[in-house]
Amino acid sequence: MWSDALPTFAITLREGVEAVLIIGIVLAALRRTERPELVPWAWGGVGLGILASGGLGLLLRGWWQGVTSPVAKQWLEAGIGGGAIVLLSWMLLWMTENPAD
């Protein structure tokens, strides 16, 4: 029973730590650039991200349960992974072109 939940727990813990690090970096950058008026916007983005993530998770869960073909599930996983790669690559390029200082 616990052996089934352990990988999910480890992934969730890792993702949570990464999210906290990113939020901390954004808040530190706002403090460093002396833009404290943007801190509420940052926290609003955190809240909106949590709501959007939960909503998208529920939507994909329902859609995933409707997919019965193993090949279709592999293509769906590949598409989601590819989308994540595109989003992260865009974020890194944007951050490179827009330094905090």
Element (H, E) at 54: helix 39-66
What are the structural domain ranges in the chain? 1-55, 67-101
Q: What is the pLDDT of residue 63?
A: 79
Alpha-carbon torsion 88, 20, 63, 71, what sign? Answer: positive
Tokens of 91: 């974020």
User: pLDDT for 30-74, tens place per residue?
Assistant: 999 999 999 999 999 999 999 999 999 898 888 777 777 888 888
Which percentage of the chain shows pLDDT scores above 90? 52
Rounded Cα gap, residues 54 and 60, in angstroms: 10
CA dist 50 and 52 (Å) reads: 6
Q: What is the pTM of this model?
A: 0.63
End-to-end CA distance of the chain: 50
